[in-house]
A = this chain, B = another copy of it.
Amino acid sequence: MSESLDPSSYRELLRRSLAEDLGAGDITTDTIVPAGRRARGQLIAKAPLVLAGIDPFLEVFRLLDPTAVAEIGRKDGEELLPGDSPVEVHALARSLLSGERVALNLLQRLSGVATLTRRFVREVARTGAQILDTRKTTPGLRGLEKYAVRVGGGRNHRKDLAEAVLIKENHIRMAGGVAAALEAMQPAKGRVAWMEIEVTNLDELRDALAHRPDDHSPIVILLDNMQPTQVRQAVEQVRHAEDGRRGPAYDPEKRIRLEASGGITLANVRQFADAGVDWISVGALTHSAPAVDLSFEIEPA
């Protein structure tokens, strides 16, 4: 799970965003600023934040002006304080003025995701729990937002529907119950990165344990919308089941893992971590992270 991004993965998004923002052309800039004039732009944090997305930020200006160059002082993942200036760009003045909004829109969003992730990660420090994202990402930004989660210290859940099996409530309803759904998945076992099933109460958990495929795909059980006390009981139940499996062939790498999700906030995340789950997934990391405040000050070179 690498923390860098291939520029070819976001260049098309930047092109579309520029087309969207430029429309028939930036009439203000093109009228006020002569074509060949060069300038420098300084990125400035206006609030505490975790930086994420410096590369796509700069790529915007490179698309508008291939001669753009940058002095990079701070890297993705570093924490900035108000007034910090992580990067300075030198380029044609028009490209700085016309690209500013697109570049900032993306950077403020990605840094917002990284900043919120970092706060969740801090809350669960020194428990065994990891903070994960979900597939509740902005349409078109999946790869970038999952990168920002990693930058913030989080771990990525499935990148798409093909990476792992996750049997959710709707699948269970279509299959006719937890047992039937697990049964139907038999042919897929061993062919996927991991297999996971969502349960919403302790009875369903019992069913899932009873019908877990005895195979080589790691298995995860997702405890959805349970309270911390219930989660603690679920952890006990699973430990008990694991104890029953121990023996000479027991491979601790293949133990059942537990994930908590649903209704988790900065205020209560620690309780879930203390309850003993392995993973805590938080949709808000990507669907509701507020943008962080950054400005871009442009002046004559």
Interface centre among A16, A36, A101, A192 (most CB of B within 10 A): A36
What are the interface flags for A133-169 relative to B under an 8 Å C-beta threshold, 1 for contact and 0 otherwise?
0011111111100000000000000011111011111
Inter-chain CA distance A112–B218, complex, in Å, is 36
User: Which one, A24-32, A204-212, A226-234, A249-257, is touching chain B?
Assistant: A24-32
| A140 close to B29 (CB less than 8 A) | no
Instruction: Report how far A141 CA is from B101 CA in the complex, Å.
Output: 14
Which of A92, A162, A291 gathers the greatest number of chain B CB atoms within 10 Å? A162
Q: Which of A157-211 contact B (CB under 8 A)?
A: 159-163, 165-171, 173-175, 181, 184-185, 187-188, 191-192
B21 in contact with A135 (CB, 8 Å): yes
Does any Cβ of B come within 8 Å of A63's Cβ?
Answer: yes
How many residues of A are in contact with the other chain, CB < 8 A? 96
The residues of B that contact A94 with a CB separation of less than 8 Å are: 36
Q: B287 touching A288 by the CB < 8 A rule? A: no
Pair B161/A21 contact, Cβ less than 8 Å = yes
Tell me, rounded to whole Å, the shortest Cβ–Cβ distance linking A287 to chain B: 4
Contact of A69 among B15, B137, B159 (CB under 8 A): B15
By the criterion CB–CB under 8 Å, are B67 and A19 in contact?
yes
Q: Is the CB of B287 within 8 A of A109?
A: yes
Residue from B36, B139, B181, B298 within 8 A of A16 (CB atoms): B139
Shortest distance between the CB of A92 and any CB in chain B (Å): 8
A161 touches B32 (CB 8 A): no
**Which residue of B has the minimal Cβ distance to A166?**
B28
Task: Please measure, in the bound complex, the distance between the C-alpha atom of A139 and the C-alpha atom of B93, giving whole angstroms.
Answer: 22
Nearest to A93 among chain B residues (CB) is B174
Is there an interface contact between A162 and B25, defined as CB atoms closer than 8 Å?
A: yes
Chain A 94-118 near chain B by CB (<8 Å), digits 1 or 0: 1011101110111011001000000
Q: Which residues of B contact A38 (CB under 8 A)?
A: 19, 22-25, 162
* Other-chain contact of A137, B105, B161, B165 (Cβ < 8 Å): B105
Whether, in the assembled complex, A90 has its beta carbon less than 8 Å from a beta carbon of chain B, the answer is yes
A–B complex contacts, Cβ < 8 Å, 17 sampled: A15-B67, A15-B69, A22-B67, A25-B92, A25-B161, A26-B36, A26-B162, A27-B162, A27-B191, A27-B192, A36-B94, A64-B66, A102-B139, A162-B301, A170-B296, A173-B300, A283-B291
The 3 closest A-B pairs by CB, nearest first: A23-B160, A30-B36, A24-B162
